[in-house]
Structure 1
Amino acid sequence: MRLSIYSKSNTLLLSALALAAVASCGKAPVEHQTATKQAAVEKPVPTSEPVAAPAGKVVVYQMFTRLFGNSNNANQPWGTIEQNGVGKFNDINQAALKGIKELGATYVWYTGILHHAVIRDYSAYGISLDDPDVVKGRAGSPYAVKDYYSVNPDLAVDPAKRVQEFEALIERTHAEGLKVIIDIVPNHVARHYKSLDKPAGIEDFGANDDTSVEYKRDNNFYYVVGQPFQVPKPLNGYQPLGGEAHPLSDGKFDENPAKWTGNGSRLAQPDFNDWYETVKVNYGVKPDGSYDFDRLPADYADKSVQEHAAFWQGKDLPNSWLKFRDIAFYWLDKGVDGFRFDMAEMVPVEFWSFLNSSIKTKNPDAFLLAEVYNPTLYRDYIRLGKMDYLYDKVEMYDSLKLVMQGKGSTDAIAQVQQGMADIEHHMLHFLENHDEQRIAAPEFAGDANKAKPAMVVSALISSSPTMLYFGQEVGETAALDSGFGDPSRTTIFDYAGVPAHQNWLNDGKFDGGKLTAEQKQLREFYVKLMSLSATEAVFNGAYQELHSINKDTDGYSDKTYAFARFNDSTKVIVASNFATEATRFELKLPADLQKQWQLSKGDYQLQDLLSERKASLKVTGDTASVKIELAPFESLVLKL
């Protein structure tokens, strides 16, 4: 059984958080919980005021860097670099970046950059060996960071110059008009953390910890005093490296006393399902769940970044807070433009107020994205934690997934959008990422075309950023058994190739030379849609759902969704068909929208922005409607 610590289905995640709630602090600050829950229930009425923006929306392209440039298609389970190959920083050339730019991208999230534990001998470069008993996969989890001040040596042509090679990639990315995001993983680090490249004056995590006590505020870790760490008992015949012999693979790992595990387990021998390859970072949260730092007053939800920064000035802060600030500053100085924060809800919101206000003081334009799955925490982490954006996984993604699978109704989309009205600009939309199943996988939808209507809705329904995962735009199925990684998700633990993406990669040409006709058509759809999202200012404008008043219309079903977007100069009607059958209906506009758009009696020509199709909006007195015909999985984006 190959368990992914980052296969975070909602049920499994909430279960893990419940088990580790006190230890991980995955909860709202006490004095804010009531207000937060109330805000989540009240379902604010959508505003008609547009979000001020000069152009289209932000588009993030997530690249799993180790896999992106790899042309090797051997794909041996548990294969080595020599067998299966690995992508390098240098593979990401101008052609690759231009291809990403075609998808409307404004940011590239280079995933798996930081030096994490890997099963490969880099001792010639002074790097200590990692133990397969506490590493998931051969290539290792990118979320078990071993050195925050360096990058994965696998990604460099010359490991001795790995940081310089990444700096060159940052420069190439900027030269193509794209900005750079990397991960910061604040909740946990690799079981064997050792920084070779830390600047002068920086101390390693845990270097000065008092290991004779379970907790001390300025300890970086929590300790199971008097007990050595024990490797978890494997499940279902699991063997590190698929059973291959390795000098360190002996079922043991030297750690005494044992540290708490990354997901909050306090056992000296964590369970195999725990995040046993990582240890939890202490942010000044006591074992009983109380806090060893100053709390933010409730009214700071309405205060500026500058006021948050001022609040923390002169405060005596836990040591881990300062360490992560220094890490963020280090990468900002290298030219990184923003961060994606892993499992942010497992870290106290006060820390985020401190870190993010520090980052924004240094770089006001820094892009700050957080992985948060608990909707009752959203508003706190945006308003108190000063996050720019959060994952909209539990609400929008989960609703669209059910519709794509034929298990859910589009009614849920309208409900989600209404409930998010006050924070919708801050909720990042996606249909794939490294944690989720590929849409084309049989375990998800089995057909990449089923993502088309969902992608139109996801990308155009709000002013939120949209994220694409590499290979999504060419229908990657993630069917491979790569070793530790599970089929249906592109592996993040193994050396592998990504077949559909490799067709676009085309041996490093990045020109789509090996794409099938269907893959080319799918990529062209993504290019057109995402370019539209990124360049049309109207999608930063006002939103009006058209779903409710059309639900009883003949031909309009719970597999159809329609809405309008508009600003002072542009009006757009969007209609999508999630069904496997074609449909036709007469889409009605509400009277208040007709009045807002100042539509007088007559016929108005509409142009579909995704194709050459045209339609006519007919206004007669108090009614306005347009006849819509949609093929299976088709959408129209009709501009007035």
Structure 2
Amino acid sequence: MEKFVVYQMLPRLWNSGAKPGETPVTGKFSDIDEPFLEYLRSCGVSHLWLTGLIRHATTVSYKGMPASLRQVVKGDAGSPYAIIDYYDVNPYLADNVNERHREFRSLLNRVHKSGLKFIMDFVPNHVARDYGRKGLVRSSAIPLGKEDDTSVHWRPENDFYYYPGEDLTLPVPPSEGQPPYTESPAKASGNCFSPTPGVNDWYETIRLNYCNTRTATWDRMYEIVRFWCRKGVDGFRCDMVEMVPKEFLSWLISAIKKEFPSVIFIAEVYTKDLYRTYVNEVGFDFLYDKSGLYDTLRAVVRGEASARALTWNWQFLGELQPRMLNFLENHDEQRFASDFYAGNAESAFAALAVSLLFGVSPFMLYCGEEVGERGMNAEGFSQIDGRTSIFDWCTVDSIARLKEYVHTGSGLLPEEESLLSRYRETLALSTSDPSFSRGWTYDLCYCNLKSRGFDPDRHFCFLRGFGGEARLVVCNFSSADAETDIFIPREAFLYVGCGCPEETLRRIRVPSRDFVIVPF
């Protein structure tokens, strides 16, 4: 298996600020153009994951398609995961609303013509609160819940869960000038079984009902995935799979791969003890390693854990390493440079080296990460929380500057351009150098515990090799520059397939929060 790099972006954020007569401010399908795709290729990216394609609840109406009430929409733009129509794309992403499917196909063709693979979200566990309301769902498919028996809390044939005789009580009041949202009987919310969801619940969504055996719900969701496969989509990032029965997911993946064997499935999963189940039994191609490497790296970067924990996580994962999707950021997590994480982007390099170079696991880069976006703006619903809002119409200055840079070669701040240069170099190296893209890994920390200058709590080192060559990588998570001896035993060279027959001792200098690579 060879390493690949996924680039995640929310298309609406790929904008350059307000344009005359345009409300809201949003990136379009057409903004994902050839210069941008060329930029991705120059970074070693092979897969583009566009978050927020499927039509979701929003406060903006479009040519006869009514807006949702603000009471059941988070932010003005709305959550990309509050699905209104699984067979539609968001009208606000199109230059011509009535031509949005044609524009989507053109985008898909551009991506494929550039040599990239196309990944989109599959949201199997919940829909928008007002899903199915007249005028919202435009596809010819039977809407979920249309044939439900609402007089019972649960029955196998129902798509949703109900609370007969109880009205929904929302944790937020209706917006001024709008009627209250009503739902009777109340349905279970996306992440809680209650007719009275709290403000921290996914109150804007409705939970789907799955049985452990095949039902009409299974078939409807299968047809949704098949619809997008037939469009040419290459893979799906599957949202919150632990909230859906494993039996359904296993059946779905098996059925889809019979017709579309090259389509990949990536699971958003958080319970480490279930990793092997989701790979070996359910059949996912790749898993988020949020609870493993991401959480471990975050703790090491912040000085809350020893670098030894990186080895422990590596040992826990074992043969699953190639099936992990590593990352330092995504839309759910706080930006690395935010005050809630590392505080600055320049501290990212040691963590980047481990996440990107320590194995053949694919790596995911989140749009703006490569120029140090901090996520410290109060964009609306999210307020200042270290994340870039997925709920609001907004222009992110660093991303707007990146967009200008992609098209003109200028526009970035000096520190952003410097950071981007280092990211591009490391990303490209990870996929172009066989030692990193498909080579073997040997953790060297255990044999350097007593090496001069080596701090096992703040330093980390490993050897990668392929085809008779090897690369030593030494990472420094300390706030101080390091000078350390690194011992490489003969068996390490042999393990990674390097012809160097003798054990080696090298004196290595590593700047703080950084890494160095030494070729052999």
TM range (shorter): over 0.9
Q: Secondary structure at the match of 1:629?
A: strand
Q: Distance in 1 between matches of 2:188 and 2:498?
A: 63
Deviation of residue 81 (structure 1)? Answer: 9.2
Write out aligned runs for 1:561-580 (5 A). 561-580=460-479
Matched with 1:638 is 518
Preserved CA contact (<8 Å) 2:324 2:362 = yes
Matched with 1:256 is 184
Q: Distance in 2 between matches of 1:323 and 1:470?
A: 32
Q: Secondary structure at the match of 2:319?
A: coil
Structure 2: runs of 5+ lacking an equivalent: none
Q: Secondary structure at the match of 1:421?
A: helix
Q: Structure 1, residues 432-480: CA drift from partner, whole Å, max 9, x if none?
A: 0000111111121111011111111101111111000000000001121
Q: Structure 1, residues 95-145: CA drift from partner, whole Å, max 9, x if none?
A: 1111111111110000000000000122x2x32320111110000000101
Correspondent of 1:581 among 480, 498, 510: 480
Q: Distance in 1 between matches of 2:500 and 2:440?
A: 21
Correspondent of 1:375 among 250, 269, 272: 272
Q: Secondary structure at the match of 1:60?
A: strand
Write out aligned runs for 1:53-68 (5 A). 53=1, 56-68=2-14
Q: Secondary structure at the match of 2:119?
A: strand
2:61 is aligned with 1:150: no
Deviation of residue 90 (structure 1)? Answer: 0.8
Matched with 1:225 is 164
Q: Distance in 2 between matches of 1:456 and 1:494?
A: 33
Correspondent of 1:448 among 345, 358, 362: 345
Q: Secondary structure at the match of 2:318?
A: coil
Write out aligned runs for 1:328-343 (5 A). 328-343=225-240
Matched with 1:547 is 445
2:375 is aligned with 1:478: yes
Correspondent of 2:16 among 71, 84, 105: 71
Q: Secondary structure at the match of 1:352?
A: helix
Structure 1: runs of 5+ lacking an equivalent: 1-52, 75-79, 285-290, 294-316, 602-618
Q: Distance in 2 between matches of 1:135 and 1:598?
A: 57
Q: Distance in 2 between matches of 1:576 and 1:483?
A: 38
Q: Secondary structure at the match of 1:635?
A: strand
Name the stretch that deviates more: 527-536 or 389-398.
Answer: 527-536
Correspondent of 1:100 among 33, 40, 60: 40
Q: Structure 1, residues 355-392: CA drift from partner, whole Å, max 9, x if none?
A: 11112112111121010001111111111111001100
Matched with 1:203 is 142
Matched with 2:57 is 117
Q: Distance in 2 between matches of 1:385 and 1:600?
A: 42
Q: Secondary structure at the match of 2:55?
A: strand
State the structure with bigger RCO (CA 8 A, min sep 6), 1 or 2: 1
Deviation of residue 267 (structure 1)? Answer: 2.0
Deviation of residue 631 (structure 1)? Answer: 1.4
Q: Distance in 1 between matches of 2:119 and 2:498?
A: 43
2:472 is aligned with 1:592: no
Preserved CA contact (<8 Å) 1:572 1:637 = yes
The one-letter code sitting in structure 2 at the alignment partner of 1:635 is F
Matched with 2:110 is 172
Q: Distance in 2 between matches of 1:512 and 1:185?
A: 37
Matched with 1:408 is 305
| Structure 1 residues 111 and 586: CA distance shift in structure 2, 3 A | same
Q: Distance in 2 between matches of 1:407 and 1:353?
A: 37
Q: Distance in 1 between matches of 2:200 and 2:23?
A: 29
Q: Structure 1, residues 472-512: CA drift from partner, whole Å, max 9, x if none?
A: 00000112101102321000000011111211211x85345
Deviation of residue 550 (structure 1)? Answer: 1.0
Q: Distance in 1 between matches of 2:500 and 2:426?
A: 31
Q: Structure 1, residues 298-332: CA drift from partner, whole Å, max 9, x if none?
A: xxxxxxxxxxxxxxxxxxx2111111110011111
Identity of aligned pairs, percent?
A: 38
| Structure 1 residues 93 and 431: CA distance shift in structure 2, 3 A | same
Preserved CA contact (<8 Å) 1:564 1:573 = yes
Q: Distance in 2 between matches of 1:128 and 1:210?
A: 27
Preserved CA contact (<8 Å) 1:114 1:149 = yes
TM-score (norm 1): 0.77
Matched with 1:626 is 506
Matched with 1:270 is 197
| Structure 1 residues 579 and 529: CA distance shift in structure 2, 3 A | same
Matched with 1:467 is 364
Preserved CA contact (<8 Å) 2:475 2:513 = yes
Write out aligned runs for 1:22-101 (5 A). 53=1, 56-68=2-14, 70-72=15-17, 82=22, 85-101=25-41
Q: Secondary structure at the match of 2:407?
A: coil
Q: Secondary structure at the match of 1:527?
A: helix
2:431 is aligned with 1:493: no
Q: Secondary structure at the match of 2:309?
A: helix
Task: Count how many residue pairs are aligned between Structure 1 and Structure 2.
Answer: 513
Matched with 1:18 is none
Preserved CA contact (<8 Å) 1:230 1:253 = no
Q: Secondary structure at the match of 2:282?
A: coil
| Structure 1 residues 445 and 509: CA distance shift in structure 2, 3 A | closer
Correspondent of 2:421 among 502, 524, 547: 524
Preserved CA contact (<8 Å) 1:560 1:576 = yes
Q: Distance in 1 between matches of 2:513 and 2:195?
A: 51
Deviation of residue 518 (structure 1)? Answer: 1.4
| Structure 1 residues 61 and 600: CA distance shift in structure 2, 3 A | closer
Deviation of residue 594 (structure 1)? Answer: 4.4
Matched with 1:141 is 79
Preserved CA contact (<8 Å) 2:468 2:498 = no
Correspondent of 1:503 among 369, 387, 401: 401
Name the stretch that deviates more: 591-600 or 447-456.
Answer: 591-600
Q: Distance in 2 between matches of 1:334 and 1:94?
A: 20
Deviation of residue 339 (structure 1)? Answer: 0.3
TM-score (norm 2): 0.95
Q: Distance in 2 between matches of 1:219 and 1:459?
A: 44
Q: Distance in 2 between matches of 1:73 and 1:434?
A: 23
Deviation of residue 280 (structure 1)? Answer: 0.5
Q: Distance in 2 between matches of 1:451 and 1:160?
A: 43
Preserved CA contact (<8 Å) 1:441 1:477 = yes
Q: Distance in 2 between matches of 1:423 and 1:600?
A: 29
| Structure 1 residues 568 and 280: CA distance shift in structure 2, 3 A | same
| Structure 1 residues 580 and 370: CA distance shift in structure 2, 3 A | same
2:253 is aligned with 1:356: yes
Q: Secondary structure at the match of 1:400?
A: helix
